[in-house]
Protein backbone atom coordinates (compact mmCIF):
# COMPACT_ATOMS: atom_id res chain seq x y z
CA UNK A 1 0.00 0.00 0.00
CA UNK A 2 2.90 2.37 0.62
CA UNK A 3 3.97 1.90 -3.01
CA UNK A 4 0.35 2.32 -4.12
CA UNK A 5 0.07 5.66 -2.34
CA UNK A 6 3.36 6.77 -3.84
CA UNK A 7 1.98 5.93 -7.29
CA UNK A 8 -1.05 8.24 -6.86
CA UNK A 9 0.77 10.94 -4.92
CA UNK A 10 -0.59 14.38 -5.80
CA UNK A 11 -3.72 13.08 -7.51
CA UNK A 12 -7.15 14.38 -6.53
CA UNK A 13 -9.29 12.03 -4.43
CA UNK A 14 -13.01 11.59 -3.84
CA UNK A 15 -14.41 10.51 -0.48
CA UNK A 16 -15.88 7.00 -0.67
CA UNK A 17 -18.45 5.68 1.79
CA UNK A 18 -17.89 2.09 2.92
CA UNK A 19 -20.68 0.37 4.81
CA UNK A 20 -19.65 -2.20 7.42
CA UNK A 21 -22.47 -4.63 8.12
CA UNK A 22 -21.35 -6.24 11.34
CA UNK A 23 -21.87 -6.53 15.10
CA UNK A 24 -21.35 -2.83 15.81
CA UNK A 25 -18.51 -0.31 15.88
CA UNK A 26 -16.90 1.69 18.68
CA UNK A 27 -17.69 5.14 17.33
CA UNK A 28 -15.58 6.78 20.06
CA UNK A 29 -12.31 5.06 19.14
CA UNK A 30 -9.49 7.54 18.57
CA UNK A 31 -8.54 5.99 15.24
CA UNK A 32 -12.09 5.74 13.89
CA UNK A 33 -14.09 8.72 15.11
CA UNK A 34 -12.70 11.01 12.38
CA UNK A 35 -13.53 8.56 9.58
CA UNK A 36 -17.14 7.79 10.50
CA UNK A 37 -19.86 8.53 7.99
CA UNK A 38 -22.13 11.31 9.21
CA UNK A 39 -25.61 11.56 7.76
CA UNK A 40 -25.65 15.17 6.51
CA UNK A 41 -29.44 15.41 6.65
CA UNK A 42 -29.90 14.15 10.22
CA UNK A 43 -29.75 16.29 13.37
CA UNK A 44 -28.22 14.16 16.15
CA UNK A 45 -30.33 13.24 19.15
CA UNK A 46 -33.47 15.24 18.40
CA UNK A 47 -35.68 12.17 18.11
CA UNK A 48 -36.90 13.26 14.67
CA UNK A 49 -36.46 11.54 11.32
CA UNK A 50 -35.05 14.70 9.74
CA UNK A 51 -34.20 13.15 6.37
CA UNK A 52 -37.47 11.18 6.31
CA UNK A 53 -35.79 7.90 5.37
CA UNK A 54 -37.69 6.00 8.06
CA UNK A 55 -34.79 5.78 10.50
CA UNK A 56 -34.72 8.25 13.39
CA UNK A 57 -31.37 9.83 14.34
CA UNK A 58 -29.35 7.55 12.04
CA UNK A 59 -26.30 9.76 12.32
CA UNK A 60 -23.58 7.12 11.78
CA UNK A 61 -25.75 4.28 10.46
CA UNK A 62 -28.43 1.97 11.83
CA UNK A 63 -28.93 -0.93 14.21
CA UNK A 64 -31.29 -3.47 12.65
CA UNK A 65 -31.15 -5.71 15.72
CA UNK A 66 -32.23 -3.10 18.23
CA UNK A 67 -35.55 -2.15 19.73
CA UNK A 68 -37.30 1.19 19.65
CA UNK A 69 -37.04 1.17 23.46
CA UNK A 70 -33.24 1.29 23.22
CA UNK A 71 -32.60 -2.38 23.95
CA UNK A 72 -30.50 -4.47 21.59
CA UNK A 73 -29.99 -8.09 20.56
CA UNK A 74 -26.61 -9.40 21.70
CA UNK A 75 -26.90 -13.14 21.17
CA UNK A 76 -29.18 -15.14 18.92
CA UNK A 77 -29.81 -18.72 17.84
CA UNK A 78 -28.32 -20.47 14.82
CA UNK A 79 -30.21 -20.51 11.53
CA UNK A 80 -30.09 -24.29 11.26
CA UNK A 81 -31.91 -24.59 14.59
CA UNK A 82 -34.44 -21.97 13.53
CA UNK A 83 -35.13 -23.78 10.24
CA UNK A 84 -35.42 -27.16 11.97
CA UNK A 85 -38.10 -25.98 14.38
CA UNK A 86 -39.86 -23.76 11.84
CA UNK A 87 -40.79 -26.77 9.72
CA UNK A 88 -40.60 -29.57 12.29
CA UNK A 89 -44.36 -29.93 12.78
CA UNK A 90 -44.86 -29.86 9.02
CA UNK A 91 -42.43 -32.66 8.16
CA UNK A 92 -41.32 -34.60 11.26
CA UNK A 93 -42.82 -38.09 11.23
CA UNK A 94 -45.03 -37.30 8.22
CA UNK A 95 -45.31 -39.24 4.98
CA UNK A 96 -43.87 -36.97 2.32
CA UNK A 97 -44.38 -37.41 -1.42
CA UNK A 98 -41.67 -35.21 -2.89
CA UNK A 99 -42.86 -36.00 -6.42
CA UNK A 100 -45.97 -33.91 -5.78
CA UNK A 101 -44.03 -30.87 -4.55
CA UNK A 102 -43.38 -27.83 -6.68
CA UNK A 103 -39.82 -26.50 -6.76
CA UNK A 104 -40.37 -24.18 -3.82
CA UNK A 105 -41.69 -27.00 -1.63
CA UNK A 106 -38.82 -29.26 -2.67
CA UNK A 107 -36.29 -26.61 -1.73
CA UNK A 108 -38.01 -26.07 1.62
CA UNK A 109 -38.10 -29.78 2.42
CA UNK A 110 -34.49 -30.36 1.41
CA UNK A 111 -33.42 -27.38 3.53
CA UNK A 112 -35.30 -28.82 6.51
CA UNK A 113 -33.66 -32.22 6.08
CA UNK A 114 -30.22 -30.57 6.04
CA UNK A 115 -31.12 -28.54 9.12
CA UNK A 116 -32.32 -31.65 10.94
CA UNK A 117 -29.11 -33.49 10.08
CA UNK A 118 -27.05 -30.54 11.29
CA UNK A 119 -28.97 -30.03 14.55
CA UNK A 120 -29.01 -33.72 15.47
CA UNK A 121 -25.37 -34.07 14.51
CA UNK A 122 -24.32 -31.16 16.72
CA UNK A 123 -26.19 -32.72 19.63
CA UNK A 124 -24.96 -36.30 19.33
CA UNK A 125 -21.39 -35.79 18.17
CA UNK A 126 -18.75 -33.21 17.48
CA UNK A 127 -17.44 -31.03 20.29
CA UNK A 128 -17.47 -32.26 23.89
CA UNK A 129 -18.98 -29.22 25.57
CA UNK A 130 -18.37 -30.54 29.10
CA UNK A 131 -14.68 -30.82 28.37
CA UNK A 132 -14.72 -27.37 26.77
CA UNK A 133 -16.33 -25.92 29.87
CA UNK A 134 -13.58 -27.45 32.03
CA UNK A 135 -10.93 -25.95 29.75
CA UNK A 136 -12.59 -22.54 30.07
CA UNK A 137 -12.84 -22.77 33.86
CA UNK A 138 -9.18 -23.78 34.14
CA UNK A 139 -8.14 -20.98 31.76
CA UNK A 140 -10.00 -18.38 33.81
CA UNK A 141 -8.37 -19.73 36.99
CA UNK A 142 -4.90 -19.73 35.44
CA UNK A 143 -5.43 -16.23 34.07
CA UNK A 144 -6.35 -14.96 37.54
CA UNK A 145 -3.15 -16.43 38.99
CA UNK A 146 -1.01 -15.03 36.18
CA UNK A 147 -2.42 -11.50 36.39
CA UNK A 148 -1.33 -11.34 40.02
CA UNK A 149 2.05 -12.95 39.34
CA UNK A 150 2.87 -10.74 36.34
CA UNK A 151 1.45 -7.65 37.98
CA UNK A 152 -0.86 -6.48 35.21
CA UNK A 153 -4.36 -7.30 34.01
CA UNK A 154 -3.56 -7.51 30.31
CA UNK A 155 -0.61 -9.40 28.84
CA UNK A 156 0.15 -11.06 25.51
CA UNK A 157 1.22 -14.62 24.83
CA UNK A 158 4.71 -13.33 24.09
CA UNK A 159 4.76 -11.51 27.43
CA UNK A 160 3.80 -14.73 29.15
CA UNK A 161 6.45 -16.70 27.27
CA UNK A 162 9.23 -14.46 28.63
CA UNK A 163 7.75 -14.25 32.14
CA UNK A 164 9.85 -16.13 34.72
CA UNK A 165 7.34 -17.78 37.04
CA UNK A 166 8.78 -18.39 40.52
CA UNK A 167 5.85 -19.66 42.58
CA UNK A 168 4.75 -23.24 41.75
CA UNK A 169 1.11 -22.23 41.13
CA UNK A 170 2.22 -19.48 38.72
CA UNK A 171 4.52 -21.91 36.88
CA UNK A 172 1.66 -24.39 36.45
CA UNK A 173 -0.69 -21.62 35.33
CA UNK A 174 1.87 -20.37 32.80
CA UNK A 175 2.38 -23.83 31.33
CA UNK A 176 -1.35 -24.45 30.93
CA UNK A 177 -2.24 -21.05 29.51
CA UNK A 178 0.80 -20.93 27.23
CA UNK A 179 -0.04 -24.35 25.78
CA UNK A 180 -3.50 -23.16 24.71
CA UNK A 181 -2.18 -19.90 23.23
CA UNK A 182 0.44 -21.71 21.16
CA UNK A 183 -1.98 -24.41 20.04
CA UNK A 184 -4.35 -21.74 18.73
CA UNK A 185 -1.65 -19.53 17.14
CA UNK A 186 -2.55 -16.68 19.50
CA UNK A 187 0.83 -15.77 20.97
CA UNK A 188 0.43 -12.14 19.93
CA UNK A 189 -3.10 -11.94 21.34
CA UNK A 190 -3.87 -10.84 24.87
CA UNK A 191 -5.17 -12.94 27.73
CA UNK A 192 -8.44 -11.00 27.56
CA UNK A 193 -8.86 -11.67 23.85
CA UNK A 194 -8.24 -15.36 24.38
CA UNK A 195 -10.63 -15.70 27.35
CA UNK A 196 -13.33 -13.69 25.56
CA UNK A 197 -12.97 -15.77 22.41
CA UNK A 198 -13.00 -19.08 24.28
CA UNK A 199 -16.05 -18.00 26.29
CA UNK A 200 -17.91 -17.11 23.11
CA UNK A 201 -16.94 -20.42 21.49
CA UNK A 202 -18.05 -22.50 24.48
CA UNK A 203 -21.35 -20.62 24.65
CA UNK A 204 -22.00 -21.14 20.94
CA UNK A 205 -21.27 -24.89 21.13
CA UNK A 206 -23.56 -25.27 24.14
CA UNK A 207 -26.35 -23.49 22.24
CA UNK A 208 -25.89 -25.92 19.34
CA UNK A 209 -26.17 -28.92 21.66
CA UNK A 210 -29.27 -27.46 23.26
CA UNK A 211 -30.91 -26.95 19.87
CA UNK A 212 -31.77 -30.63 19.40
CA UNK A 213 -34.16 -30.70 22.35
CA UNK A 214 -35.26 -27.09 22.82
CA UNK A 215 -36.74 -24.62 20.31
CA UNK A 216 -34.68 -21.45 19.81
CA UNK A 217 -35.41 -18.60 22.17
CA UNK A 218 -37.08 -15.60 20.50
CA UNK A 219 -34.10 -13.32 21.17
CA UNK A 220 -34.77 -11.00 18.27
CA UNK A 221 -38.58 -11.06 18.31
CA UNK A 222 -38.78 -10.03 21.97
CA UNK A 223 -36.64 -6.94 21.36
CA UNK A 224 -37.03 -5.85 17.72
CA UNK A 225 -40.81 -6.49 17.57
CA UNK A 226 -41.19 -6.33 13.78
CA UNK A 227 -42.97 -8.84 11.59
CA UNK A 228 -39.96 -10.96 10.67
CA UNK A 229 -41.85 -12.67 7.83
CA UNK A 230 -42.62 -9.38 6.08
CA UNK A 231 -39.71 -7.76 4.23
CA UNK A 232 -41.82 -4.61 3.76
CA UNK A 233 -41.97 -4.09 7.53
CA UNK A 234 -38.60 -2.38 7.47
CA UNK A 235 -38.66 0.64 9.76
CA UNK A 236 -37.53 -1.04 12.96
CA UNK A 237 -34.37 -0.96 15.06
CA UNK A 238 -32.56 2.00 16.58
CA UNK A 239 -29.58 4.27 16.03
CA UNK A 240 -27.26 2.63 18.59
CA UNK A 241 -24.53 1.15 16.39
CA UNK A 242 -22.16 0.57 19.36
CA UNK A 243 -24.38 -1.78 21.38
CA UNK A 244 -23.70 -5.43 22.10
CA UNK A 245 -20.16 -6.65 21.51
CA UNK A 246 -18.53 -4.31 18.95
CA UNK A 247 -15.12 -6.03 18.95
CA UNK A 248 -15.55 -7.67 15.55
CA UNK A 249 -16.99 -4.65 13.74
CA UNK A 250 -14.46 -2.28 15.28
CA UNK A 251 -11.57 -4.49 14.18
CA UNK A 252 -13.01 -4.74 10.65
CA UNK A 253 -13.58 -0.98 10.41
CA UNK A 254 -10.01 -0.27 11.44
CA UNK A 255 -8.59 -2.50 8.74
CA UNK A 256 -10.55 -0.58 6.13
CA UNK A 257 -10.14 2.95 7.32
CA UNK A 258 -8.30 3.62 10.60
CA UNK A 259 -6.93 7.12 10.06
CA UNK A 260 -3.62 6.95 8.24
CA UNK A 261 -0.42 8.71 9.31
CA UNK A 262 -1.83 10.12 12.55
CA UNK A 263 0.74 8.39 14.76
CA UNK A 264 -1.92 6.29 16.47
CA UNK A 265 -2.16 2.51 16.53
CA UNK A 266 -2.22 1.42 12.92
CA UNK A 267 -3.15 2.64 9.45
CA UNK A 268 -6.21 1.45 7.57
CA UNK A 269 -5.94 0.46 3.92
CA UNK A 270 -7.92 3.42 2.53
CA UNK A 271 -7.19 7.06 3.26
CA UNK A 272 -10.24 9.00 2.05
CA UNK A 273 -13.25 7.00 3.15
CA UNK A 274 -16.10 7.26 5.59
CA UNK A 275 -17.33 4.22 7.50
CA UNK A 276 -21.10 3.69 7.68
CA UNK A 277 -21.87 1.47 10.67
CA UNK A 278 -24.75 -0.97 10.18
CA UNK A 279 -25.42 -3.38 13.02
CA UNK A 280 -27.13 -6.59 11.88
CA UNK A 281 -24.93 -9.45 13.15
CA UNK A 282 -25.50 -10.91 16.65
CA UNK A 283 -23.53 -13.53 18.58
CA UNK A 284 -25.16 -16.35 16.63
CA UNK A 285 -26.58 -16.29 13.12
CA UNK A 286 -27.86 -13.16 11.43
CA UNK A 287 -31.39 -13.05 9.98
CA UNK A 288 -31.88 -12.77 6.22
CA UNK A 289 -34.33 -9.90 6.59
CA UNK A 290 -31.86 -7.79 8.57
CA UNK A 291 -29.07 -8.42 6.05
CA UNK A 292 -31.29 -7.62 3.06
CA UNK A 293 -32.44 -4.35 4.59
CA UNK A 294 -28.91 -3.51 5.76
CA UNK A 295 -27.65 -3.79 2.17
CA UNK A 296 -30.51 -1.60 0.94
CA UNK A 297 -29.84 0.96 3.69
CA UNK A 298 -26.18 1.12 2.65
CA UNK A 299 -27.06 1.62 -1.01
CA UNK A 300 -29.76 4.21 -0.35
CA UNK A 301 -27.45 6.26 1.87
CA UNK A 302 -24.52 6.53 -0.51
CA UNK A 303 -22.21 3.58 0.17
CA UNK A 304 -20.06 2.56 -2.82
CA UNK A 305 -18.60 -0.51 -1.08
CA UNK A 306 -20.20 -2.84 1.48
CA UNK A 307 -18.12 -5.16 3.67
CA UNK A 308 -19.82 -8.34 4.93
CA UNK A 309 -17.65 -10.33 7.34
CA UNK A 310 -20.26 -12.88 8.41
CA UNK A 311 -21.86 -16.05 7.14
CA UNK A 312 -24.05 -19.05 7.92
CA UNK A 313 -25.04 -22.45 6.52
CA UNK A 314 -28.76 -21.80 5.89
CA UNK A 315 -30.66 -18.96 4.23
CA UNK A 316 -34.44 -19.56 4.36
CA UNK A 317 -35.25 -16.13 2.91
CA UNK A 318 -32.41 -15.96 0.41
CA UNK A 319 -34.73 -14.34 -2.13
CA UNK A 320 -34.80 -11.19 0.01
CA UNK A 321 -31.02 -11.05 0.16
CA UNK A 322 -30.77 -11.80 -3.57
CA UNK A 323 -33.14 -8.92 -4.34
CA UNK A 324 -30.98 -6.60 -2.22
CA UNK A 325 -27.85 -7.81 -4.03
CA UNK A 326 -29.48 -7.09 -7.40
CA UNK A 327 -30.54 -3.67 -6.11
CA UNK A 328 -26.93 -2.91 -5.12
CA UNK A 329 -25.81 -4.13 -8.54
CA UNK A 330 -28.26 -1.78 -10.27
CA UNK A 331 -26.96 1.17 -8.23
CA UNK A 332 -23.26 0.49 -8.80
CA UNK A 333 -22.37 -0.76 -5.32
CA UNK A 334 -19.65 -3.39 -4.75
CA UNK A 335 -20.28 -6.13 -2.16
CA UNK A 336 -17.27 -7.79 -0.48
CA UNK A 337 -17.83 -10.97 1.53
CA UNK A 338 -15.66 -13.15 3.78
CA UNK A 339 -15.38 -16.74 2.50
CA UNK A 340 -15.72 -18.28 5.98
CA UNK A 341 -13.47 -20.13 8.41
CA UNK A 342 -14.35 -23.83 8.15
CA UNK A 343 -11.52 -24.91 5.83
CA UNK A 344 -14.32 -25.98 3.47
CA UNK A 345 -14.80 -25.91 -0.29
CA UNK A 346 -17.64 -23.43 -0.72
CA UNK A 347 -18.13 -24.56 -4.31
CA UNK A 348 -19.90 -27.55 -2.76
CA UNK A 349 -20.65 -26.55 0.87
CA UNK A 350 -23.35 -23.96 1.59
CA UNK A 351 -22.14 -20.63 2.91
CA UNK A 352 -24.54 -17.70 2.88
CA UNK A 353 -24.85 -15.02 1.71
CA UNK A 354 -23.34 -15.83 -1.66
CA UNK A 355 -23.40 -14.29 -5.16
CA UNK A 356 -25.53 -17.02 -6.74
CA UNK A 357 -29.06 -15.77 -7.34
CA UNK A 358 -31.46 -18.57 -6.52
CA UNK A 359 -34.25 -17.56 -8.92
CA UNK A 360 -32.10 -17.33 -12.04
CA UNK A 361 -28.96 -19.26 -11.18
CA UNK A 362 -26.91 -16.29 -12.37
CA UNK A 363 -23.99 -14.88 -10.42
CA UNK A 364 -24.06 -11.27 -9.26
CA UNK A 365 -21.36 -9.26 -11.03
CA UNK A 366 -20.83 -6.81 -8.15
CA UNK A 367 -19.61 -9.40 -5.63
CA UNK A 368 -16.13 -10.42 -4.40
CA UNK A 369 -15.59 -13.40 -2.08
CA UNK A 370 -12.33 -13.33 -0.12
CA UNK A 371 -10.25 -16.14 1.36
CA UNK A 372 -7.53 -15.62 3.98
CA UNK A 373 -3.83 -15.76 3.25
CA UNK A 374 -1.07 -15.95 5.85
CA UNK A 375 2.56 -15.03 6.30
CA UNK A 376 4.62 -18.08 5.30
CA UNK A 377 7.72 -16.64 6.98
CA UNK A 378 6.05 -16.78 10.40
CA UNK A 379 6.87 -19.88 12.41
CA UNK A 380 3.22 -20.72 13.02
CA UNK A 381 2.26 -20.55 9.34
CA UNK A 382 3.95 -22.72 6.75
CA UNK A 383 1.77 -21.79 3.79
CA UNK A 384 0.46 -18.75 1.99
CA UNK A 385 -3.06 -19.91 2.90
CA UNK A 386 -4.57 -19.67 6.37
CA UNK A 387 -5.32 -23.15 7.70
CA UNK A 388 -8.91 -22.16 8.57
CA UNK A 389 -9.88 -20.40 5.35
CA UNK A 390 -12.70 -21.58 3.13
CA UNK A 391 -11.81 -21.86 -0.54
CA UNK A 392 -13.41 -22.65 -3.88
CA UNK A 393 -12.14 -22.22 -7.42
CA UNK A 394 -15.56 -21.14 -8.63
CA UNK A 395 -16.80 -19.15 -5.63
CA UNK A 396 -13.79 -17.54 -3.93
CA UNK A 397 -12.33 -14.76 -6.05
CA UNK A 398 -9.10 -13.80 -4.32
CA UNK A 399 -7.09 -14.25 -1.13
CA UNK A 400 -5.98 -11.44 1.20
CA UNK A 401 -4.12 -11.22 4.53
CA UNK A 402 -6.19 -12.73 7.32
CA UNK A 403 -3.82 -14.02 10.01
CA UNK A 404 -2.56 -12.02 13.00
CA UNK A 405 -4.06 -8.77 11.73
CA UNK A 406 -3.48 -5.80 14.04
CA UNK A 407 -6.35 -3.33 14.20
CA UNK A 408 -8.62 -1.23 16.37
CA UNK A 409 -10.55 -2.85 19.21
CA UNK A 410 -13.23 -1.22 21.37
CA UNK A 411 -12.82 0.31 24.80
CA UNK A 412 -10.02 2.64 25.85
CA UNK A 413 -8.63 3.36 22.37
CA UNK A 414 -6.88 0.03 22.20
CA UNK A 415 -5.55 -2.25 19.44
CA UNK A 416 -4.99 -5.97 19.04
CA UNK A 417 -4.71 -8.95 16.73
CA UNK A 418 -7.47 -11.05 15.25
CA UNK A 419 -7.61 -13.53 12.41
CA UNK A 420 -10.13 -14.97 10.03
CA UNK A 421 -11.56 -14.33 6.60
CA UNK A 422 -13.43 -11.62 8.51
CA UNK A 423 -10.13 -9.74 8.52
CA UNK A 424 -9.26 -10.58 4.89
CA UNK A 425 -12.54 -9.23 3.53
CA UNK A 426 -12.02 -5.65 4.82
CA UNK A 427 -8.52 -5.64 3.31
CA UNK A 428 -10.23 -6.05 -0.08
CA UNK A 429 -13.07 -3.67 0.79
CA UNK A 430 -10.47 -1.08 1.76
CA UNK A 431 -8.53 -1.67 -1.44
CA UNK A 432 -11.71 -1.28 -3.49
CA UNK A 433 -12.47 2.01 -1.71
CA UNK A 434 -8.89 3.18 -2.26
CA UNK A 435 -9.21 2.49 -6.00
CA UNK A 436 -12.58 4.24 -6.20
CA UNK A 437 -11.32 7.27 -4.30
CA UNK A 438 -8.83 7.95 -7.10
CA UNK A 439 -10.94 6.60 -9.96
CA UNK A 440 -14.54 7.17 -8.82
CA UNK A 441 -16.08 6.60 -12.24
CA UNK A 442 -15.10 2.94 -12.34
CA UNK A 443 -17.95 0.44 -12.02
CA UNK A 444 -18.05 -2.35 -9.40
CA UNK A 445 -17.36 -4.80 -12.21
CA UNK A 446 -14.24 -2.88 -13.23
CA UNK A 447 -13.00 -2.68 -9.64
CA UNK A 448 -13.57 -6.41 -9.21
CA UNK A 449 -11.67 -7.10 -12.43
CA UNK A 450 -8.81 -4.84 -11.33
CA UNK A 451 -8.43 -6.54 -7.94
CA UNK A 452 -8.53 -10.04 -9.42
CA UNK A 453 -6.30 -9.47 -12.45
CA UNK A 454 -3.66 -7.56 -10.46
CA UNK A 455 -3.46 -10.18 -7.69
CA UNK A 456 -0.02 -11.71 -7.18
CA UNK A 457 0.22 -15.20 -8.66
CA UNK A 458 2.32 -17.43 -6.44
CA UNK A 459 5.28 -19.34 -7.92
CA UNK A 460 4.97 -22.19 -5.45
CA UNK A 461 2.23 -24.48 -4.25
CA UNK A 462 0.22 -23.81 -1.11
CA UNK A 463 -1.55 -25.95 1.45
CA UNK A 464 -5.18 -26.66 0.81
CA UNK A 465 -6.81 -25.50 4.07
CA UNK A 466 -7.82 -28.36 6.33
CA UNK A 467 -5.29 -30.76 4.83
CA UNK A 468 -1.62 -31.25 4.06
CA UNK A 469 -2.26 -31.42 0.31
CA UNK A 470 -0.14 -29.02 -1.73
CA UNK A 471 -2.01 -27.35 -4.60
CA UNK A 472 -1.83 -24.29 -6.78
CA UNK A 473 -3.63 -21.24 -5.42
CA UNK A 474 -5.55 -21.22 -8.72
CA UNK A 475 -7.21 -24.43 -7.48
CA UNK A 476 -8.52 -22.54 -4.45
CA UNK A 477 -9.75 -19.27 -5.98
CA UNK A 478 -10.64 -18.00 -9.43
CA UNK A 479 -7.90 -15.36 -9.63
CA UNK A 480 -5.20 -17.68 -8.31
CA UNK A 481 -3.68 -14.76 -6.45
CA UNK A 482 -3.24 -12.66 -3.30
CA UNK A 483 -4.33 -9.04 -3.53
CA UNK A 484 -1.69 -6.49 -4.49
CA UNK A 485 -2.56 -2.85 -3.82
CA UNK A 486 0.25 -1.40 -5.94
CA UNK A 487 -0.50 -3.50 -9.00
CA UNK A 488 -4.23 -2.86 -8.56
CA UNK A 489 -3.95 0.92 -8.61
CA UNK A 490 -1.58 0.77 -11.60
CA UNK A 491 -4.10 -1.32 -13.54
CA UNK A 492 -6.98 0.92 -12.46
CA UNK A 493 -5.14 3.94 -13.84
CA UNK A 494 -5.29 2.42 -17.34
CA UNK A 495 -9.06 1.98 -17.43
CA UNK A 496 -11.76 4.21 -18.80
CA UNK A 497 -15.25 4.53 -17.31
CA UNK A 498 -17.81 2.01 -18.50
CA UNK A 499 -19.02 2.62 -22.04
CA UNK A 500 -15.58 3.62 -23.27
CA UNK A 501 -13.17 1.18 -24.84
CA UNK A 502 -10.88 -0.54 -22.37
CA UNK A 503 -7.18 -0.72 -23.29
CA UNK A 504 -6.11 -4.16 -24.49
CA UNK A 505 -3.36 -4.34 -21.86
CA UNK A 506 -5.95 -4.53 -19.12
CA UNK A 507 -7.62 -7.57 -20.67
CA UNK A 508 -4.64 -9.84 -21.12
CA UNK A 509 -4.71 -11.68 -17.82
CA UNK A 510 -7.34 -13.53 -15.85
CA UNK A 511 -10.73 -14.88 -16.74
CA UNK A 512 -13.59 -13.03 -18.35
CA UNK A 513 -16.07 -12.18 -15.61
Active-site entry in 22, 58, 143, 397: 22
How far is it, in rounded angstroms, from Cα 450 to Cα 463? 26
**For the CA atoms of 339, 340, 344, 345, what is the dihedral angle to 10 degrees?**
-20
| Whether 50 contacts 43, CB under 8 Å | yes
The SS3 assignment for 276 reads strand
Is residue 313 among the annotated active site residues? no
Q: Please state the φ and ψ torsions of residue 456, each to the nearest 5 degrees.
A: -75, 120
How far is it, in rounded angstroms, from Cα 483 to Cα 468? 24
**List of residues 6+ apart from 417 with CB closer than 8 A:** 186, 188, 189, 193, 404, 405, 406
How far is it, in rounded angstroms, from Cα 323 to Cα 326? 5
Active-site entry in 156, 373, 387, 422: 422
Q: Which of 65, 112, 117, 77 is nearest to 214 (CA)?
A: 77
For β-strands 367-373 and 398-401, DSSP reports them as: parallel
Alpha helices per DSSP H over 151-264: 157-162, 168-183, 191-210, 219-224, 247-257
Is residue 422 among the annotated active site residues? yes
How far is it, in rounded angstroms, from Cα 157 to Cα 180? 10
**For the CA atoms of 87, 92, 94, 99, what is the dihedral angle to 10 degrees?**
60
Q: How many CB atoms lie within 10 A of CB 46?
A: 10
Element (H, E) at 103: helix 103-124
How far is it, in rounded angstroms, from Cα 231 to Cα 12? 41
Is residue 153 among the annotated active site residues? no
| Bridge partner residues of 363 (DSSP) | 356
Active-site entry in 76, 122, 240, 248: 248
How far is it, in rounded angstroms, from Cα 291 to Cα 287? 6
429 exposure class (CB count in 10 Å sphere: 0-12, 13-18, 19+): buried
Known catalytic residues are 22, 248, 422
Amino acid sequence: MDKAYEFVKGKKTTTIVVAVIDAGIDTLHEDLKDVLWVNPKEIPGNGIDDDKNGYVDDVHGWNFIGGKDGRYVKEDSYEGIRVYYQFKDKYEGKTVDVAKFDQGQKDEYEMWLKAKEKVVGDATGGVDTKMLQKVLEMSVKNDSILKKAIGKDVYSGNDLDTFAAVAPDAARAKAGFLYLLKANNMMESTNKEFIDGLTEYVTSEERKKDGATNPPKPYRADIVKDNEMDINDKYYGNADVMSGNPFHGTHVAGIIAAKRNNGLGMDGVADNVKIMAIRAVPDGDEHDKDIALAIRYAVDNGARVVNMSFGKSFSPEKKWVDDAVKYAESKGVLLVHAAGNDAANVDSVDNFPNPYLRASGARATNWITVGASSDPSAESFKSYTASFSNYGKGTVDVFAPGTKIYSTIPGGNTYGNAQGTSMASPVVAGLAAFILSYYPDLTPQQVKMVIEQSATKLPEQVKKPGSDDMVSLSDLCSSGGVVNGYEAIKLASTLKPEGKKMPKSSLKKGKKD
